[in-house]
Amino acid sequence: MIKRILILSLALCTTLFVQAQTRTVSGKVTDSADGAALPGVNVLVKGSSNGTVTDIEGAYSVEVSDLDVLVFSFIGYLTAEQPVGAKTVLDLGMEPDVEQLDEVVVTALGISRDKKSLTYAAQEVDGEELTKVKDANFMNSLTGKAAGVFVNRSGSGVGGSTRVVLRGNSSTRNNSVLYVIDGVPMNNFSPSQPSDVWGQNFGVAGSAGTGGAGRDGGDGVANINPEDIESINVLKGASAAALYGSQAANGVILITTKRGKAGKVSVSASSNFTSESVLMMPEMQFNYGQTSAGALDSWGGSVDAKDHVSDFFDNGKTWINTVSVAGGNEMAQTYFSYANTDSKGIIPSNELQKHNVTFKESLSLWQDRLKMDGGVSLITQSTNNRANSGMYFNPLTGLYFFPRGLDFDEYKNNYETFDANRNFNTQNWVNNIDVQQNPYWILNRNQNEDSRNRVIGNIGATLKIVEGLTFRVRGNIDKSVDRYEQRVHASTQATLSDINGRYVQQNAEATQMYGDALLMYNKTFEKFSVSATVGTSITDSEVKTQFFDSKGGDDIRNEGIEGLFYANTFNIQNIAIGGTALFNEGGSHSQLQSVFGSLNLGYNGMLFLDVTGRNDWSSTLPDTDFFYPSVGLTAVISEMVDISSVDLLKVRASFAQVGNAVNAYDLTSGSFNSIIPYGTVTTPTSRVEPGQTLNPEMQNSFEVGAEVSVLDQRVSLDVAYYNTVTENQRIPIVAPASKGGGFFYINGGEIVNKGVEAALTVVPVSTENFTWTSTLNFTKNINEVKALPSELEDGRLQLTAPGVNSYAMMLTEGSQFGDIYGQKFARNEDGVIIVDADGRPQVQEGGLDYVGNPNPDYMWGWNNNFNYKGISLGFLVDARIGGEVMSITEAMNDLYGVSKATGDARDAGGVDMKAVYADGTAYSGLLPAQEFYTTVGGRAGITEQYVYSATNIRLREMSIGYSLPSTVMEKLGPIKTAKLSLIGRNLFFLKNDAPFDPDVSMSTGTGLQGVHVFGLPSTRSIGFNLSLTL
């Protein structure tokens, strides 16, 4: 008996010993059809959290024992299980899953759908495309990579905002897309944007009426860490976005972020460095100097001046370093990431620091019937000396206008001098006018700083009630706190500062809370499929603002003292008593409550019907609800008939009605102004005519499209035609004095956008070692202002703020959105310019007239990716064809005689014009350059002279990378993959007729598109990216 027990024990121990022996098994995973390597395949030891993913060559290695079973899973392929046994090498050819949906995409509310069943256009951009050539604002990386998407950025440099418009401008108020992260609408709050050519001087009481409505305060979407993004899905039309109701008129960009995965812990790290240099700047002359000593211009005689303009700009530098950790088991998955962005702009002391921390946790409980997830993202960002567009507080005006022949270095090295009378340093400069100061005085003694602290938290749960019936609930809070300060030292020009300086402080706190609950049903009954969702959501948005500006009137204790009592002491306690320093406290609070539902019916995988409906109740409107429906139909022809070599042939059509919500306090003003110290309060006033109300803008959109894929998906085409009509624009009209004066908002007007989009993807070569993928995106949008209210003066609506002399951006019935109006040359019936008796061009009578429109005729982007073994090459060429842009910068440079054009004209002996006198007699001879350019130049000159074609074609992105092969990686210990890439962005223009980058505007607001007002020069970025996985 004892002998039997000993033998049994020995056998058991031997078995346990064998099981305990672990070793490494490795292999390669390929597509069984063509043998192509499959990167990113999950390889998991069954029943454990031990696992890995295949590298770029499809290779993997994992610790196993003889009794283990490996589970291989990858989207679009059948999951495979392979026992290890005694193998040390285990290769696998994975079989495509013909039963699986062709392509799963994320749609509205974060619901995943089979792309084949969609009844509207939706285009996905992989997260890798956004990080291949990184930008500090990752939305700039979307340019050219999706049809129907127009991206332009502000000219404020580091930390500047980006404007994204889908399918054209349709609103007088807001054309920005709705950003949705993991199904939850995001707050894309921006503290401020410039609204006229002055740029930053705040334009509030106490600022001496100096115009200007602010600065570029950046935007919210740029706070996201692009390395956290799994993919972006662009929902372009109203049908795609209809479930977002009154938030969806401008389309939706869905951002799906990364999360933890079951398997061995994986660590990813990347380091990205780019050096930015000036791509193009205004062309200058340095051969002609001042007309006389002390003159502000450069209309004088010959000089040999140094090019101080090019010397002013630095090489910018941007470091983006990230690390992420992901892992877990079948029950719990964790994701953590950290990113640091350190960016220095091309002007001295312009810097940005940003830190991102993200943590996510997912749980699968109760045999996967209950899934819970939660996460938090923390963002902190600080920016020093954010560059200002416009003519105030802008170092570029003084830099450009500086009289040639003087020594700029003298003012660079000695931008301030000691004033013995005042006992402090004051500005050292050649003149004392508001539109130019010593650039180094602005950078060192007019400094601005801003910061943002933001937290985004979310929690959710999904319960599988019975097979096919699921209940989901989510909650999200997004809170950001912004602070801005500007300290303007004494001796800054009097329009911009009081005698003792100026102190500006702006604080903003934005909070958005969101919650929803969805009941989802999915079931297949033989040939029929049903997918239905009903739900409710609530969005609560609140913004609190405080604004302080010390600029004001005389101090009652000491006549002549204004704003600040003690010079250059920057705090609120140092306010001059009796002055008119302004303290403004305002904000908004609104709530949107909604119920919604969707129904998708499918027949035999070939016919799909989509019906959605959403009802919104908004606190910004009276007790009225608004219903937003959509309906769509898709027919998959390739499932109905067998067509040789055709993988997919599908046609679709849809109609939807969505809204553009009324903003909080569009019905009444929402701010309270106090003039310190006496507390004069401005009370709210009605912005709607008594007895009237406002409704949301209403958009009716019709879309048809087709998708075709042939030759084993080697060629794919998605084309769409859309026609969108937006009515009920919110339009301000002058209120009669009998009703309090000022203005009222009314509903009226109609704007139409119709166009064609196409996305063509071709894989010309695909072998085991070499692939080439090429994608062409094409967009053509036709915009028309169909109607405007008869109550408008002159029948036109001005989009830009008052105070602009030579141009305005207008809406005019029968024309396009955002027409540029300006002063034009007076011409005779034959179109020949009319000059006065001295030969100077005359201005057309009748005020401002149409001179151009910034909207392109069409756009395209050509994106290519080549892979040969471990070598990769990618490049993106994009084009904007048609449209016009205007430059106040060039006009002002001409006025001061510093532009290359003015120098060339003097070299030629004058300006040769084909012109006539008022009586029709032909003008002959050359007009002196100074006479011509001081007539047409300047902000009050002849705008027509400074309108240029916006057509441009450029090499937008390029990258060349090398991934170390798996045979090398095996020798590098814990490092599984390593890739080094050389990268470039905005490398050069293939065509550009404008003297500046047409894609850069003064503001990303509604009214300053296509207008260049001393924005920073466009830059070229070259650098490297190193990425590792452990």
Q: CA triplet 744, 748, 753: central angle to 5 degrees?
A: 135
Residue linked to tokens 């009209």 = 733
Output the pLDDT for position 881.
97
> Could you give the CA distance from residue 645 to residue 712 in angstroms, rounded to a whole number?
7
Q: Which helix (H) or strand (E) holds 475?
A: strand 469-488
Distance between alpha carbon 943 and the CA centroid of its chain, in Å?
29
Share of the chain above pLDDT 70, in %: 90
Average pLDDT, integer, range 1005-1028: 89
List, as one string, the DSSP characters of 780-820: EEEEEEEE--TTSGGGEEE-SPS--SSEEEEEETTS-TTEE
Phi, then psi, of 889 in degrees rounded to 5: -60, -50
For residue 802, pLDDT beyond 60: no
Output the pLDDT for position 664.
66
Contact status, residue 979 vs residue 241, Cβ threshold 8 Å: no
For residue 435, pLDDT beyond 50: yes
Which region among 210-224, 577-591, 746-760, 920-934 has the lowest average model confidence (pLDDT)?
A: 210-224
Q: How confident is the model at residue 804 (pLDDT cuts 50, 70, 90)?
A: low
Q: How confident is the model at residue 674 (pLDDT cuts 50, 70, 90)?
A: very low
Output the pLDDT for position 5.
40
Q: How confident is the model at residue 6 (pLDDT cuts 50, 70, 90)?
A: very low
Distance between alpha carbon 627 and the CA centroid of its chain, in Å?
30
> Could you give the CA distance from residue 447 to residue 442 in angstroms, rounded to a whole number?
7
**What letter would DSSP give residue 76?**
T
Q: Which helix (H) or strand (E) holds 113?
A: strand 112-114
Average pLDDT, integer, range 515-544: 93
Residue 724 Cα distances to 165, 173, 551, 785, angstroms: 14, 17, 47, 12
Output the pLDDT for position 109.
73
> Could you give the CA distance from residue 609 to residue 631 in angstroms, rounded to a whole number?
8
What is the number of other CB atoms lying within 10 angstroms of the CB of residue 367? 7
Output the pLDDT for position 863.
97
Residue linked to tokens 């062309």 = 283
pLDDT tens by residue, 170-206: 988 788 888 999 988 888 877 667 666 776 545 433 3
Angle between the N-to-C axes of helices 888-895 and 900-907, in degrees from 0 to 180, rounded to the nearest 10: 40
Give 425 or 666, the one with higher predicted confidence.
425
Q: CATH: 1.10.3730.10, 3.40.1000.10, 2.40.50.100, 2.60.40.1120. Which one for 2-94?
A: 2.60.40.1120
- Partners of 271 in the beta sheet? 321, 1026
Q: Is residue 151 helix, strand or coil?
A: strand
Find out whether the peptide bond into 677 is cis, omega within 30 degrees of 0: yes
pLDDT tens by residue, 7-16: 444 343 444 3
Output the pLDDT for position 655.
95
Output the pLDDT for position 168.
92
Output the pLDDT for position 723.
97
**What letter would DSSP give residue 108?**
G
Residue 330 neighbours by CB under 8 Å, 6+ apart = 49, 262, 364
Share of the chain above pLDDT 90, in %: 56
Q: How confident is the model at residue 918 (pLDDT cuts 50, 70, 90)?
A: very high
Distance between alpha carbon 271 and the CA centroid of its chain, in Å?
23
pLDDT tens by residue, 467-481: 999 999 999 999 999
Q: Which helix (H) or strand (E) holds 439?
A: helix 439-445
Sheet with 59-64, edge to edge strand ranges: 59-64, 23-31, 92-94
Virtual CA dihedral for 290, 296, 299, 302, nearest 10 degrees?
A: 20
Output the pLDDT for position 562.
66
Residue 363 burial (10 A CB sphere; 0-12, 13-18, 19+): middle
Which region among 125-134, 516-525, 660-669 has the lowest average model confidence (pLDDT)?
A: 660-669
Output the pLDDT for position 35.
74
Output the pLDDT for position 3.
47
Which region among 404-408, 541-545, 998-1002 has the lowest average model confidence (pLDDT)?
A: 998-1002
Average pLDDT, integer, range 808-828: 92
**Tokens linked to 198:** 């002055």
Residue linked to tokens 């100026």 = 502
Output the pLDDT for position 673.
45
Q: How confident is the model at residue 535 (pLDDT cuts 50, 70, 90)?
A: very high
Contact status, residue 1024 vs residue 983, Cβ threshold 8 Å: yes
> Could you give the CA distance from residue 29 to residue 37 in angstroms, rounded to a whole number?
6
For residue 678, pLDDT beyond 50: no
Q: Determine the length of the chain.
A: 1030
> Could you give the CA distance from residue 1009 to residue 193 in angstroms, rounded to a whole number?
12
Which region among 96-105, 381-390, 687-696 has the lowest average model confidence (pLDDT)?
A: 96-105
Q: How confident is the model at residue 246 (pLDDT cuts 50, 70, 90)?
A: confident
Nearest to 492 by CA among 250, 208, 750: 208
For residue 676, pLDDT beyond 60: no
Q: How confident is the model at residue 136 (pLDDT cuts 50, 70, 90)?
A: confident
List, as one string, the DSSP characters of 175-210: -PPEEEETTEE-----S----STTBSS---TTSTT-
Average pLDDT, integer, range 39-57: 81
Write out the E strands in 576-670. Answer: 582-603, 607-618, 625-636, 646-660
Contact status, residue 346 vs residue 314, Cβ threshold 8 Å: yes
Write down the domain spans for the chain. 2-94, 127-279+288-690+698-787+854-883+950-1029, 794-853+884-949
Integer distance in angstroms from the first to the last C-alpha of the chain?
Answer: 53
Q: How confident is the model at residue 681 (pLDDT cuts 50, 70, 90)?
A: very low
Output the pLDDT for position 677.
45
Contact status, residue 163 vs residue 152, Cβ threshold 8 Å: yes
Superfamily of segment(s) 127-279+288-690+698-787+854-883+950-1029: TonB-dependent receptor, beta-barrel domain (2.40.170.20)
